[in-house]
A and B are shown apart, each in its own frame.
Chain A
Amino acid sequence: MALERLEFEYLGPAEKGKRDWEYIHIGHVMSGDLEILAEPMPHEPGVTKFHVTTSAVGFGSVWQMVIDEFMATHKVRACEIWINDDGATPAVVKLRLAQLAKEMSREKSG
């Protein structure tokens, strides 16, 4: 019944350019949905950390896959991403992550 906590960490070349956003928050915790909070981690320029809390227990490999895919498409660096999930499907997770990437680039460009 308790929640599952998953951690994922990615290493890559440091992000170039200045980041304008202080933090980004997206979504809601509701059945089939999730919230994402992204915070900059300027002291670790090449690192991206994911902290997932989910009520759907036992789907670690699916999360790994979805987040791997996200990281392969988007150059997200030097930030920590917190996810509170209430049983979102992989499709919804992808959608929310895409929204996050969009917000990041939008905020970056001003």
Chain B
Amino acid sequence: MDDRWNLLQNQPFSRLNARERAYAICNPESFTELLGPRLKLTSPHLPPMGQTPQFDDGVVVGLGTVGKAPAVVVSQESKFLGGGVGEAHGTKMVMAIRLALRGQEILESRSKSSESRGRVAVVISFDTGGVRLQEANAGLLAHSEVMDAFQAARGKVPIIGIVGGTVGCFGGMGFVAASVDVLIMSDVGRLGLTGPGVIEEVVGTEEFDAANRALVWRTTGGRHRFITRDADFIVEDTMKAFREKVAEVASWPIEKIASKRIIGTGEMVLEQMRLVDLAANDRIQDSWDLWRQFGNEDIEYLWDSNVSEFEANARRWPRGRVGDND
């Protein structure tokens, strides 16, 4: 029995490091890291700036099994430079998705009992502020490479995203997370493009008071993202909760997984435009204004309730498509 794996399952996901998350999201003893710390492929750009590099460049990538599916796992480490995407970090992410596609092609090329072997899935744990400024240009380009790889994976390899770390998912990685097939968040997780601190700095405190933690969480936190359906699931902040949800989703047929997407087709653009309309002309001042519009009455109760109560009682954006209101 894998004691370390068992121990990790009951830990808060948010407190684990990227390697522990990658290891424990997979079935026991199934995770093999690629380009791990032993290869010491550190960023050559950081030392001249006086910044100590890290052996994995802030992201753990590896192969494992999730439930019955072979999986490629990407897990960002927010402790190192805020999870910022630099050159090596970015290329590791891009390669992970390309290799998942190759793995799937190999599975498909084996005629015999291909379905019983499962379908390769990509699992990405986002914990990042986006581009690493010390390697800004390479980081930016890596985002475009990841988005392209996502599009290449469409309908072939499902991409399951997780946002449950202490930094959350901001900057360019915000739209990468929005482009996955299924997104799972916890209460700790936050998702956005421009971080609260940046809005405050660029526009002013009257636009966004970044010191107001409650405001930050109700604007970017998992509960709000669940209500607007940007997050498909909200789970408890435990390793086990994330792992079970990922394994469940990975077992779905690819069509069902793809139906959870929020962007990526012309119809979805028009659908999202309806949500945007609700906010035009300053009609929305606060995320809770939206919650009310979707029929949530006792918002304080929803906010304070535990995750399962919240999930059961929250009224989500009626996306407008049949079968989406479950």
Are B79 and A28 touching (Cβ within 8 A)? yes
* One of B49-57, B127-135, B245-253, B316-324 at the interface: B49-57
For B80, list chain A residues within 8 Å (CB): 28-30
For B36, list chain A residues within 8 Å (CB): 25
Q: Does B48 contact A (CB under 8 A)?
A: yes
Are A25 and B47 touching (Cβ within 8 A)? no
Chain B residues touching A, majority SS: loop
Quick one: CB contact mask for A54-70 with B, threshold 8 Å, 1 for yes?
11000000000000000
Are B19 and A85 touching (Cβ within 8 A)? no
Partner of A35, one of B38, B51, B54: B54
Are A1 and B50 touching (Cβ within 8 A)? yes
Are B38 and A54 touching (Cβ within 8 A)? no
Number of residues on chain B facing chain A (CB within 8 A): 19
Bound CA span A48–B55, Å:
20
Quick one: CB contact mask for A1-27 with B, threshold 8 Å, 1 for yes?
111000000000000000000010100
Q: How far is the CB of B79 from the nearest CB of chain A, in Å?
A: 4
Q: Does A82 contact B (CB under 8 A)?
A: yes
Number of residues on chain A facing chain B (CB within 8 A): 20
Q: Does B40 contact A (CB under 8 A)?
A: yes
For A39, list chain B residues within 8 Å (CB): 38
Q: Does A104 contact B (CB under 8 A)?
A: no
Q: How far is the CB of A41 from the nearest CB of chain B, in Å?
A: 13
**Contacts A23-B38, A28-B17, A30-B80 hold; do A2 and B47 have CB atoms under 8 A apart?**
yes
Are A37 and B55 touching (Cβ within 8 A)? yes
Interface residues of B in 19-51 (CB under 8 A from A): 19, 36-38, 40, 42, 47-51
For B55, list chain A residues within 8 Å (CB): 25, 35, 37, 82, 84
Bound CA span A63–B36, Å:
26
Q: How far is the CB of A31 from the nearest CB of chain B, in Å?
A: 10
Q: Can you pick out 26 interface pairs between chain A and chain B where the beta carbons lie within 8 Å of each other?
A: A1-B48, A2-B50, A3-B50, A3-B51, A3-B52, A25-B36, A25-B37, A28-B17, A28-B54, A28-B80, A29-B53, A29-B54, A29-B79, A29-B80, A30-B80, A37-B38, A37-B40, A53-B52, A54-B52, A55-B50, A55-B51, A55-B52, A82-B40, A84-B42, A84-B52, A84-B54
Closest 5 CB pairs of A and B: A1-B50, A28-B79, A29-B54, A86-B52, A30-B79
Residues on A facing B (Cβ under 8 Å)? 1-3, 23, 25, 28-30, 33-35, 37, 39, 53-55, 82, 84-86
